[in-house]
Chains A and B, each alone.
Chain A
Amino acid sequence: MSSDQPRDSIKGTSDPLTATREDRMGEGVDSRFNSKLREAFGSTPFILTKFDKFMNWVRGSSMFMLQFGIACCSIEMMHTYAVKHDLDRFGSGVPRASPRQADVMIVPGTIVSKFAPRMKRVYDQMPEPKFVVNMGNCSTSGGPFQEGYNVVKGAEEVIPVDIHVPGCPPRPEALVYGVAKLQERVANGESSPVTVKPYELEQFGDLERDEMVEKMAEDIDEETLVMRYNWADSP
């Protein structure tokens, strides 16, 4: 074989490489593209499925998390991403720093009045379809801080949530389970209905003119978006 002769650029014979390659390919027809999946399809290499179903399956199998740390739960979330628990094994691993690259937002911690509008903005920046996993009791209901004057009673007051993972904080295993459940839901084409939240952002000028609004009317521009917290009506 000509390739067996050393050329200028190749020092030494390339025979071992060729031999290895031929060993791998084996005798007869090239079977490198055979796989378990291919066998499962039977004699034809085509799949017949609904396009939506296929897309859901793809979505559920490759989820990009948002790197979003709020409080104590984010430490456990980091452990979930890191060695030992390694969320990446389930096809939903490397957290993205920008909301524009992420599909799933894990809300790991207490939402307080000052942060809720910012969280809503981050959520709004994520491309559709997007999903939210609530991690821990704080983002479910306010958790141990529910009675606090500054604590929003759950992330669901601000954004729609698909999965709640209880715990304070949930163990990494619990979060992995929650994410796996979300993947299952996504693959089945289910997601939580988007409802209008009671504390959705409002224009300041459109608010009912109660004592509080009157008091602040001079300081705040009518065009300004505000989030209104009605602690008394909160669950």
Chain B
Amino acid sequence: MSTQKESDAGADAPATTGGLDGDDIEALLGEHVLDREEHNNAPAFVVRADAVQDVLSTLKEEAGFDHLSCVTAEEHEDRFESIYHLKQYDDPTEEVSVVVPTSREEPVSQTAEPVFRAADWHEREAYDLVGVNYEGHPNHERILLPDTWQGHPLGLDYNQDKPQIVTFEENKNPLEGHQRGAEDSDTMYLNVGPHHPATHGVLHVETVLDGEQIADVSPDIGYLHRCEEQMAQKGTYRYQIMPYPDRWDYGPGGIINEWAYARAAEDLADIEVPEYAQVIRTMGSEMCRIACHMLALGTFCLDIYGDFTAIFMYAMRDREEVQNLLEDLTGQRMMFNYLRLGGVVWDIPEPREEYFEKVRDFLDGLPGKLDEYNDLITDNEVFQSRTVDTGYLDPEVAKDYGVTGPVARASGVDYDIRRDDPYGYYDELDWDVVTEDGGDNYARLLVRMREVEQSARIIEQCVDLLEDWPEEDREIQANVPRTLKPDAGTETYKTVEGAKGELGIYIRADGTEKPGRFKIKSPAFCNLAALQEMATGEYIPDLIATLGSLDVILGEVDR
């Protein structure tokens, strides 16, 4: 909805009980708990398949777990399992997992959609790829694969060699039947995409217009579903998985994505990363963040102004500079493959002084460029009238959808994994989490632009640290065994702050050198699910602007 509501919800949000341990939660859930497991990150409670809503709403209302971070489904020899990973927006280190086993013969589980809107898409994906059915789900159909697909590809008995058929039908008009309004209303159905300049890739948005206003919008994804989870499950921990994260968020959030995998796998295999490597990782991932935000800014203005104009070219020019720095560091422009479990692959390029000087040159030039962007964009009256108060996202709605990253922070949700669940070297450095209260397209752009400044601050401090680091302590990799075989049954879910939001990896080890289940929780996936809340009631150009301000990268949405 476009009307900006007085938001006092932050004040009377459910009081967090703070520091609940597993036993407290077990007591709270009472007889619902069938069994208890320990995941590496959090306590996990096994509950009956028909008590999902009860358990989750108890946790949400009474224990303050208001963030459904991820839903993982997997198939075991004897059962299907759905795992709900819950967190708190106030303190993401408070985590709990709810494990819902169902039988292999009848994989039916109660839906969590009435409790968390975020479960809508997550459960559809779980049904699509693994084959768990969710009873009571409002829209129980495939999400990533075509409707005609036979079988569930991440299931155990899926035969990949079987031919598949994909139809080429016109998209049906959803207005037939119950969705049509009163007799005299003139609604119109409009397809945006999957090949469209404003969808930032291959996204298909099914839109229903009432006059010029949007009555209903539903993103249709899966046009870039390239089996990233299957690819990761086929690779060995040590080397074969690391190249794939670069291709999730190709913004390029390469190093951040690699770090998401590295964080989960290092937690699983209990690897300590040397501090020096942590500083390099921190610097690299902030460079990636700048490149991502520049792309978001450039393409957003491309959507607003409609052509390859100055702002797009300026943003590309600045990205080019960041990419040059990253290329010097990693050897590649986009697909870095720079992190290794336990460190990074090599040190800062020699001569070090020259590299640091290049980075400093870039950072020195940045404030001037940001002023230029502000003159061109944020101070521009035309731009403001296009973006202020359009695509409004209420903070409570954002939390319900599991929205994270710049999109959530622009709605005033003060949530940043880098600060709240620190990893790498972030807690040693001096920087701020950027939030805005606007919740509209303009606020989302502002957050990104201000985050670029903060990233520059972090990089500056990292460069200082790296420059003064004593030569004998420059340890870039921990001593990691050639073959990693974490114990069977160990499970972990770890997140990092990607450029688009909370990027989480769930890994279950099965005792071999390859993961038993590898689940990617993508931030853009959750952010895109909230599109209908932002765009309904708006005009079509505002829908395009909202889509641009969400900054979805389809490689990450579809995986």
Taking beta carbons and an 8 Å cutoff, which residues of A are in contact with B?
Answer: 67-72, 74-76, 78-79, 81-84, 94-95, 97, 99, 109-110, 112-119, 121-122, 138, 144-145, 147-151, 168-169, 171, 201, 204, 207, 210, 212-213, 215-216, 219-220, 224-232
Q: How far is the CB of B171 from chain A (nearest CB, A)?
A: 11
Q: Which residue of B lies closest to A70 (CB)?
A: B202
B247 lies within 8 A of chain A by Cβ: yes
Give the interface segment out of B309-317, B404-412, B522-530: B309-317
A76 to B201, CA, bound (A): 13
**A233 closest partner in B (C-beta):** B163
Say whether B167 faces chain A, with CB atoms less than 8 Å apart. yes
**For the complex, is B182 an interface residue (Cβ under 8 Å from A)?**
no
Question: In the bound complex, do residue A145 and residue B227 qualify as a contact, i.e. CB atoms below 8 Å apart?
Answer: yes
Asked whether, in the complex, the Cβ of B225 is within 8 Å of the Cβ of A112, the reply is yes
Please encode chain B, from 285 to 319, with 1 for each CB lying within 8 Å of some chain A CB and 0 for all others: 00000000001000000000000100011001101
Q: Which residues of A contact B243 (CB under 8 A)?
A: 144
Asked if B166 is at the interface (CB within 8 A of a chain A CB), the reply is yes
Assess the A212–B335 pair: CB atoms within 8 A: no
Residues of A within 8 Å of B231, CB to CB, are: 144-145, 147-148
Could you tell me which residues of chain B, from 191 to 219, have a CB within 8 Å of some CB in chain A? 194-195, 197, 200-202
Asked if B150 and A215 make an inter-chain contact with CB atoms under 8 angstroms apart, the answer reads yes
- Measured CB to CB, the nearest residue on chain B to A115 is B223
B334-A76 in contact (CB<8A): yes
Contact A81 B166 (CB under 8 A): no
Interface residues on B, range: 35 or more
State the B residues within 8 Å of A (CB).
Answer: 144-146, 148-150, 153, 158, 160-169, 194-195, 197, 200-202, 222-228, 230-231, 234, 243-244, 247, 250-252, 295, 308, 312-313, 316-317, 319-320, 323, 333-335, 554-555
A85 to chain B, nearest CB (A): 9
The answer to whether A232 and B163 have CB atoms under 8 Å apart is yes
Q: Are A147 and B234 in contact (CB under 8 A)?
A: yes
> Are B335 and A169 touching (Cβ within 8 A)?
yes
Q: Which residues of A contact B163 (CB under 8 A)?
A: 210, 212, 228-232
19 A-B residue contacts at CB 8 Å? Answer: A68-B195, A70-B202, A72-B334, A79-B320, A83-B317, A99-B195, A113-B149, A114-B223, A117-B167, A144-B231, A144-B243, A144-B244, A144-B247, A149-B153, A149-B230, A169-B334, A204-B167, A212-B150, A226-B165
Which residues of chain B are near A149, meaning CB under 8 Å?
Answer: 153, 158, 160, 227, 230
Q: What residues of chain A lie closer than 8 Å to B150, measured between beta carbons?
A: 212, 215-216
Contact A71 B554 (CB under 8 A): yes
CB distance from B226 to the nearest CB of A (A): 4
Q: How far is the CB of B243 from chain A (nearest CB, A)?
A: 7
Q: With contacts A69-B200, A150-B226 known, is A75 near B295, CB below 8 A? A: yes
Q: Is A75 within 8 A of B225, CB to CB?
A: no
Which residues from A are CB-within-8-Å of B164? 113, 212, 228-229, 231
Residues of A within 8 A of B200 (CB): 69
B-side contacts of A216, CB under 8 Å:
148, 150, 165
Evaluate contact between B197 and A227: CB separation under 8 angstroms. Answer: no
A205 to chain B, nearest CB (A): 12
In the complex, are the beta carbons of B227 and A116 less than 8 A apart?
Answer: no
Q: CA separation between A110 and B231, bound complex, in Å?
A: 14
**By the criterion CB–CB under 8 Å, are A109 and B224 in contact?**
yes
- Contacting A229 at CB < 8 Å: which of B166, B167, B226? B166
Bound-state Cα–Cα, A230 to B159, Å = 12
- Chain A nearest CB, measured from B551 CB (Å): 13
**CA of A148 to CA of B158, assembled, Å:** 13
Q: Top 10 closest A-B pairs, CB basis?
A: A148-B227, A82-B316, A72-B250, A232-B161, A225-B168, A115-B223, A145-B226, A117-B168, A149-B153, A97-B197
Q: Which residues of B have CB within 8 Å of A168?
A: 335
Q: How far is the CB of B311 from chain A (nearest CB, A)?
A: 11
Q: Known pairs A69-B200, A83-B317. 14 more at Cβ < 8 A?
A: A72-B555, A75-B250, A84-B320, A119-B195, A122-B195, A147-B230, A148-B230, A149-B160, A150-B145, A201-B168, A216-B150, A228-B164, A231-B164, A232-B163
Report A-chain residues with C-beta under 8 Å of the C-beta of B223. 112, 114-115, 118
Across the interface, which residues of A come within 8 angstroms of B250, CB to CB?
71-72, 75
A75-B295, A226-B168 given; A171·B225 CB < 8 A: no
B160 smallest CB distance to A (angstroms): 5
Contact B227 A151 (CB under 8 A): yes
Min CB–CB distance A108 → chain B (angstroms): 10
Query: In the assembled complex, which residues on chain B have CB atoms less than 8 Å from the CB atom of A201?
Result: 168
